[in-house]
Amino acid sequence: MKRLETLFVALNGWALIVMLSAMTLIVGANITLRYATSHSLPWADEAARYLMIWMTFSGAGLILRTGGHVAITNLQDALPHRGQQMLRGAIALGLLLFFGFMVYVGVQYADRMQYQVTPAMRIPYLYVYAAMPIGFGLLILHLLLIARDFITAGTYKRRDDDQPAPDVLPGGANG
């Protein structure tokens, strides 16, 4: 199971690297062409925008597993240990329900947009809006993989290895 989780995280990270690289190349080529030939690629801005959307949704799960999203821990810190665990359990359950709802809404929305095409690239909007249900699906998987450690100990996975990291960084800044 640990090997599958490592592979899943690595593939998610590499997908982000590929998307960021593609976006960089497209925008860089467009800038170069604009200044070198006074012409630009008509689809470059659109492609970069859609790659950014995909990166945002597919990268959210990786950030979730390392505790990188905004968190306010005043209430948690004021509770006793058992109360903290119960609160984190309720938060995890609430997140799972919300992420599941967003997958459902995202599938419906993408389905409604399948017959409309983008202006420059002429691809169905289905491929753009599919980022939402896929991204929230990835959030569900990442949350399920870290939920036990988060609920019981209040820890997240470290970015550099498989050891848990504390949910509060030195100086009181949340991770």
Q: What is the 3-state secondary structure (H, E, C) of 66-110?
A: CCCCCCCCHHHHHCCHHHHHHHHHHHHHHHHHHHHHHHHHHHHHH
Instruction: Report the pLDDT value the prediction gives residue 130, as an integer from 0 to 100.
Output: 97
Q: Which residue has the tokens 């905004």?
A: 70
HSE at residue 130, side-chain half, CA atoms within 13 A, is 6
Bigger pLDDT: 155 vs 169: 155
Assign 154 a pLDDT band (cuts: 50, 70, 90).
confident
The answer to whether the CB of 9 falls within 8 A of the CB of 62 is yes
Q: What is the CA radius of gyration of the chain?
A: 20
Assign 162 a pLDDT band (cuts: 50, 70, 90).
low
Instruction: Report the pLDDT value the prediction gives residue 160, as an integer from 0 to 100.
Output: 56
Instruction: Report the pLDDT value the prediction gives residue 155, as an integer from 0 to 100.
Output: 76
Assign 168 a pLDDT band (cuts: 50, 70, 90).
very low
> How far apart (Å, rounded) are the C-alpha atoms in residues 5 and 139?
13
pTM of the complete model: 0.85
The answer to whether the CB of 144 falls within 8 A of the CB of 133 is no
Structure token digits, residue 25: 């190349």
Residue 171 has pLDDT above 70, yes or no: no
Instruction: Report the pLDDT value the prediction gives residue 69, as an integer from 0 to 100.
Output: 87
Alpha helix segments (H runs only) across 38-80: 44-65, 74-78
Residue 158 has pLDDT above 80, yes or no: no
Interval 139-151: pLDDT, tens? 999 999 999 999 9
- CB neighbour class for 65 (10 Å; exposed up to 12, middle 13-18, buried from 19): buried
Assign 164 a pLDDT band (cuts: 50, 70, 90).
low
Residue 27 has pLDDT above 60, yes or no: yes
Instruction: Report the pLDDT value the prediction gives residue 169, as an integer from 0 to 100.
Output: 41
Angle (deg, nearest 10), helices 131-153 and 81-112: 170
Angle (deg, nearest 10), helices 131-153 and 44-65: 20
Out of 12-21, 23-32, 72-81, 88-97, pick the least confident. Answer: 72-81
